[in-house]
Amino acid sequence: MIRPRAALLLALPLLSALLAPSAARAAEVNLYTTREPGLMRPLTDRFTQETGVKVNTVFVQGGLAERLAAEGSRSRADVAMVVDVGNLMELVDRNLTQPVRSQALESAIPAPLRDPQGRWFALSTRARAIYASRERIPEAEAAKLTYEDLADPRFKGRVCIRSGQHPYNTALFSILMIHHGEAWLRDYLTKLHANLARRATGGDREVARDILAGLCDVGLANTYYAGLMLSGQGGEEQKRWGEAVRVILPQAETAVNISGGAVTRHAPNRAEAVRFLEFLASAEAQSMYADANFENPVRPGTPVNPIVAGFGTLTPREVSLPEVASRRALASRIVDEVGFDR
């Protein structure tokens, strides 16, 4: 006959064995991201160093929402991280995120840059700037440029831009539509298309490249691309591209997009997911993010990279991010209707 005490002692090893895998699983967080893993690695490594929580990064180049929806309750994803407000809102609209209440996140991230219900959080802002030729656009003229100016006849055959359907541009067009109206945007895109020096294609860095080559004089591109080029991270050739342009932030009306993250609906490691987002909003991580990616931190008081600081003070155009996302489909349709990418 086995006494109760002896039975308990015999059961303890079995109980420990059963609990051990669960504890091991709790010491990890699974990140699904559309951001290149190399850009995130310094942050994920630092988080693991500080907390002991391992970050398993899954790079999803496209269709992140579709993948999460297909995986459903079987998904191992804990945190979803994307660029562009439209992609972030798609996750929310498809019920692929869950609410989070966190004093750390709410105190670090200004209210306009997070969901009131905690279903998404901006982690950096991305300014859509005007690139202007240092050689052919006088500094005084460049400093006064606005997005609206690029549709002016004086820039006929002088504008370069990537596809109008790219999320960076549909977000900008949505912001302009909110301020000016649908009819205005249709007219603006028609006139802007008439001013293009080449077909709307390529990427933001190619805008600087083509300005250096004399193919165009002005264009639209994100500020962090200029930071990457000027820092030499893209090599000496791209550094020359960056040096050929002035980066103009339209004063009091710069269009700003975001990168952001959310805890997924079926996160198996919810506590670790929240902890990871809190880390990404911390002063340390925000500084690392600014220096590594040349984007603008969301945490107030966090300095931007010195190269980015040289572009001037960023004053975002006031607009609701969910409203920007809600207008994106209409902006995309107008891009097609005016034949912008043809």
Whether residue 91 contacts residue 67, with contact meaning beta carbons closer than 8 Å, is answered with no
Per-residue pLDDT tens digits of the chain, which is 342 residues long: 445 444 444 444 444 444 444 444 458 999 999 987 777 899 999 999 999 999 999 999 889 999 999 999 999 999 999 999 999 999 999 999 999 999 999 999 999 999 999 999 999 999 999 999 999 999 999 999 999 999 999 999 999 999 999 999 999 999 999 999 999 999 999 999 999 999 999 999 999 999 999 999 999 999 999 999 999 999 999 999 999 999 999 976 899 999 999 999 999 999 999 999 999 999 999 999 899 889 999 999 999 999 999 999 999 998 999 999 999 999 999 999 999 999
Q: Which residue has the tokens 């893993």?
A: 37
Domain 27-125+256-303 CATH assignment equals 3.30.470.10: no
Return the pLDDT at 178: 97
Return the pLDDT at 293: 87
Residue set of the binding site for Fe cation: 224-225
Q: What are phi and psi of 118, to 5 degrees?
A: 75, 25
Q: Quote the CA–CA distance of 46 and 323 in Å, as a whole number.
A: 35
- Which residues make Cβ contacts (< 8 Å) with residue 180, sequence separation at least 6? 188
What is the pTM for the complete model shown? 0.89
Q: Quote the CA–CA distance of 267 and 276 in Å, as a whole number.
A: 13
Q: Quote the CA–CA distance of 260 and 87 in Å, as a whole number.
A: 9
Q: What are phi and psi of 66, to 5 degrees?
A: -60, -40
The residue extents of the domains of the chain are 27-125+256-303, 127-255+313-337
Six-digit token string for 150: 């690029």
Return the pLDDT at 8: 41
The answer to whether 27-125+256-303 and 127-255+313-337 have equal CATH topology is: yes
- Which residues make Cβ contacts (< 8 Å) with residue 161, sequence separation at least 6? 169, 192, 196, 200, 207, 219, 220
Q: Quote the CA–CA distance of 28 and 9 in Å, as a whole number.
A: 31
Return the pLDDT at 7: 43
Return the pLDDT at 14: 43
Residue set of the binding site: 224-225
CA 236 to chain CA centroid, Å, is 26
| C-alpha dist (Å) from residue 342 to 164, 199, 332, 336 | 10, 7, 14, 9
CATH number of 127-255+313-337: 3.40.190.10
Q: Quote the CA–CA distance of 26 and 15 in Å, as a whole number.
A: 17
